[in-house]
Amino acid sequence: MPAKVIVDPLTRIEGHLGIEAVVDGGKVVEARCAGTLYRGFEQILAGRDPLDAVQITQRFCGVCPTAHALASAQCLDKALGIMPPHNGRIIRNLIQGANYIQSHILHFYHLAALDFVRGPEFPPFIPRFEADYRLPDKVSQEIVSHYVQALHIRLKAHEMSAVFSGKMPHCASVVPGGVTVTPAVDKVTTFLWRLKELREFIDNIYIPDVMTIAGVYRDYAEIGRGCRRFLSYGAFDLDAEPDVGKRARLFQMGRVVDGKLLPVDPSKIAEDVKFSWYREGPPAHPSKETTEPDRSKAGAYSWLKAPRYDGAAYEVGPLARAMVNTADGANPALAKAIDGALTQLRLKRENLCSVMGRHLARALEAKALADAMADWVLQIRLDEPVAVGHKMPESASGVGLWDAPRGALGHWIAIRNQKIERYQAVVPTTWNASPHDSKGQPGPMEEALLGTPVKDENNPFEVARIVRSFDPCIACAVHLVTSRGRLLATARVV
Ligand code: NFE
Ligand code: MG
């Protein structure tokens, strides 16, 4: 008997999101992701001093402000025709690296692990969504103790970013041309001590906990597969090559489709607004598109646009980076860690395209990055500059392509009369949680829900686990709807 189930809100994510799924015969046959919050930042930026963009865009989000600072600064670097010197590049990487690891630990322990681990019987662990918790009590208790430990470790990671960025969140020192912080021995040692603690936490607690959960919830290495097209702009510059497509990065730029590594041509990115609450128009490149809200638009169901690459939906994020960086061995350390984890879990490479694959990719990437940061911090040259100067041109345009913790992040700027004429950002969750497009193609999260067995429409925890594996940066409501649309129940999910 078809049933309509509404779960609203789905918490433990960042921001505001609604999900509506059609369940028939015990499986999801149709799904819709709706971003339910209008922000309007792109309009706020128009007419301002271009240098303000690095500060204003960080206010998109308190979780990934560093990525916006970096994408925006690189967008301006491009527009101004400058590149940071050695120290500027290294220090930007360190500020961003600490924030990546903080974000991954936040996601696992404070947003996602409680989907699989029964917490204690007091707030904030109750009220909770009663799922099929499978871990023995002792193991659950240990992981819950790591929940608390992870809060302290995230503080250390914030301190690491702040050593070089002035403060966290919303860093002060990132500017076009580099950074404004003066390198000094005490900053390097402060950073290194905290990095040591972070690496111990990742190696001895985070990765083992993800492996424990992945070993017990083996069916979650089969579901939530998604669109299996992956896009990454890459992150963490290793040289100063002006062409971002050729620049060496710790995590390389690329796409993977059908297991094949392919290049990225940024001119093929376009945002489709067929099902978005924006004025109708054909899919347009971010350097040309408009953002004109139209809440009354018929058929629309999301404030998110639908970014597409050459007309196709792409998953972005740690799993996409894992795919892009292991397809041809671009990052041997990450490839070795992923192969080792899959062997230990007796899983195949195709199992990476799953809920557990996303959690594994995030944890193993945290290790690869923390290990690289230990080398970078020692590459700071105390007697060298951290930034180059610039002269603001009358007119210019630029693009910053940089992977945030949650995936491919692009900022596009047009400058006219030394002011921002237009600014567009296409952020990771816009890719992953995008609505359908004019070809009727679902977004990656929508596609990941298709075919998901839902054992009990009154308790659709499978959907929550899939949605959270993407680490969406939008608060979330899940609506499960039958083809007949009969309301069966409303559940609050915590
Ligand atoms: Ni608000 Fe973010 C990241 C960016 S999300 S957390 O990572 O950019 O789309
Ligand atoms: Mg945008």
Tens of pLDDT, residues 220-252? 999 999 999 999 999 999 999 999 999 999 999
The answer to whether the CB of 19 falls within 8 A of the CB of 460 is: no
Q: Which domains does the chain have, with CATH numbers?
A: 3-477 (1.10.645.10)
Give me 438's structure tokens: 């004019």
Give me 122's structure tokens: 């007091």
For the cut 80, the answer to whether the pLDDT of residue 43 exceeds it is yes
Is any ligand 1 atom within 6 A of the Cβ of residue 463? no
Of ligand 1's listed atoms, the one at least distance from the Cα of 474 is: 1
The ligand minimizing its distance to the Cα of 445 is 1
pLDDT of residue 11: 59
- Give CA–CA dist 114/136, Å, rounded: 14
User: Distance, CA 430 to ligand 2 centroid (Å)?
Assistant: 8
For the cut 90, the answer to whether the pLDDT of residue 458 exceeds it is no
For the cut 60, the answer to whether the pLDDT of residue 10 exceeds it is no
Is any ligand 1 atom within 6 A of the Cβ of residue 428? yes
User: Distance, CA 70 to ligand 1 centroid (Å)?
Assistant: 12
pLDDT tens for 326-356 read 998 888 999 999 999 999 999 999 999 999 9
The answer to whether the CB of 424 falls within 8 A of the CB of 287 is: yes
Torsion sign across C-alpha atoms 184, 186, 190, 192: positive
Hey, whose CA ends up nearest to atom 8 of ligand 1?
A: 427
What would the 3-class secondary structure string for 230-253 be?
A: EEECCEEECCCCCCCCCCCEEECC
The ligand minimizing its distance to the Cα of 276 is 2
Tokens 């000094």, located at residue: 184
pLDDT of residue 9: 55
pLDDT average, residue stretch 450-461: 87
User: Distance, CA 61 to ligand 2 centroid (Å)?
Assistant: 13
Torsion sign across C-alpha atoms 232, 237, 238, 244: positive
Is any ligand 1 atom within 6 A of the Cβ of residue 405? yes
**Angle, to 10 degrees, between the axis of helix 137-165 and the axis of helix 86-105?**
160
Tokens 């990671």, located at residue: 157
Is any ligand 1 atom within 6 A of the Cβ of residue 61? yes
pLDDT of residue 45: 92
SS3 96: helix
Across 405-436, b (16+ Cβ under 10 Å) vs e yields bbbbbbbbbbbeeeebbbbbbbbbbbbbbbbb
Which of 427, 430, 431, 434 gets mutated to test ligand 1 (max ligand atoms within 8 A of its CB)?
427
pLDDT tens for 155-197 read 999 999 999 999 999 999 999 999 999 999 999 999 999 999 9
- Give CA–CA dist 257/226, Å, rounded: 12
pLDDT average, residue stretch 256-277: 96
The bridge status of strand 476-481 relative to strand 17-24 is parallel
pLDDT tens for 116-151 read 999 999 888 888 778 899 999 999 999 999 999 999
